[in-house]
Amino acid sequence: MQQEIIFISDLHISLEKKEITRRFLSFLEHRAGRAKALYILGDLFDAWIGDDDNTPPNKAIKRRLQHLSANGTRVFLQLGNRDFLLGQRFAEETGVVLLEDYHVIDLFGSKTLLTHGDLLCTDDIAYQAFRAKSRTPEWIGNVLSKPLLLRLLAARWYRFRSHFHKRKKSQEIMDVNQQTVVEAMRHHGCNRLIHGHTHRPAVHEFLIDGQRAQRFVLADWRKKSAEILCWTPDGFTREKLV
**In tens digits, what is the pLDDT along the chain, a chain of 242 residues?**
479 999 999 999 999 999 999 999 999 999 999 999 999 999 999 999 999 999 999 999 999 999 999 999 999 999 999 999 999 999 999 999 999 999 999 999 999 999 999 999 999 999 999 999 999 999 999 999 999 999 999 888 877 666 656 655 666 678 999 999 999 999 999 999 999 999 999 999 999 999 999 999 999 999 999 999 999 999 999 999 98
pLDDT of residue 156: 84
Q: Which CATH architecture has domain 5-241?
A: 4-Layer Sandwich (3.60)
6 three-state secondary structure: strand
pLDDT of residue 158: 78
CA-based radius of gyration for the chain: 18
Residue 202 CA to residue 213 CA, distance in Å, equals 14
Pairing state between β 110-115 and 103-107: antiparallel
Question: Which CA distances in Å does 87 have to 39, 147, 173, 177?
Answer: 17, 17, 29, 29
pLDDT of residue 165: 60
Instruction: Show me where the domains of the chain are located.
Output: 5-241
- Report the DSSP beta bridge partners of residue 202: 217
